[in-house]
Amino acid sequence: MGKILDGKAFANELGQNLKEKVKNLKEKGITPHFCVINIGDDPASKIYVRTKKRRAKKMGIIQDIYQMPADTEQAEALALIDKLNADPTINGVMVQLPAPKQIDADELLERIDPNKDVDGLTPANIGRLWMEDHFIEPATAEGIIALLKHYQIKLDGKNVVVVGRSNIVGKPLAALMLEQNATVTICHLHTQNLGEITKKADIVVSATGQAFLITADMVKDGAVVVDVGMNHVNGKLVGDVDFDNVKEKASYITPVPGGVGPLTVQFLMEAVVKLTRRQNGRE
Q: Is there a contact between 276 and 25 (Cβ–Cβ < 8 Å)?
A: yes
Rounded Cα gap, residues 147 and 153, in angstroms = 9
SS (H, E, C) 221-271: CCCEEEECCCEEECCEEECCECHHHHCCCCCEECCCCCCHHHHHHHHHHHH
Report which residue type is found at 51: T
* 166 annotated to a ligand binding site: yes
**Catalytic site residue 119?**
yes
- The catalytic position among 6, 96, 171, 227 is 96
Report which residue type is found at 266: Q
Query: SS3 of 207, please?
Result: coil
Half-sphere exposure of 66 (CA within 13 A, CB side): 18
* 128 annotated to a ligand binding site: no
Bridge partners of 68, per DSSP, are: 39
Half-sphere exposure of 192 (CA within 13 A, CB side): 0
* 143 annotated to a ligand binding site: no
- The catalytic position among 6, 21, 52, 249 is 52
Report which residue type is found at 277: R
The residues, any chain, with a CB within 8 Å of residue 157's CB and separated by 6 or more, are 181, 182, 183
Known binding residues for NADP(+) are: 164-166
Annotated active-site positions, please? 52, 96, 119
Known binding residues are: 164-166
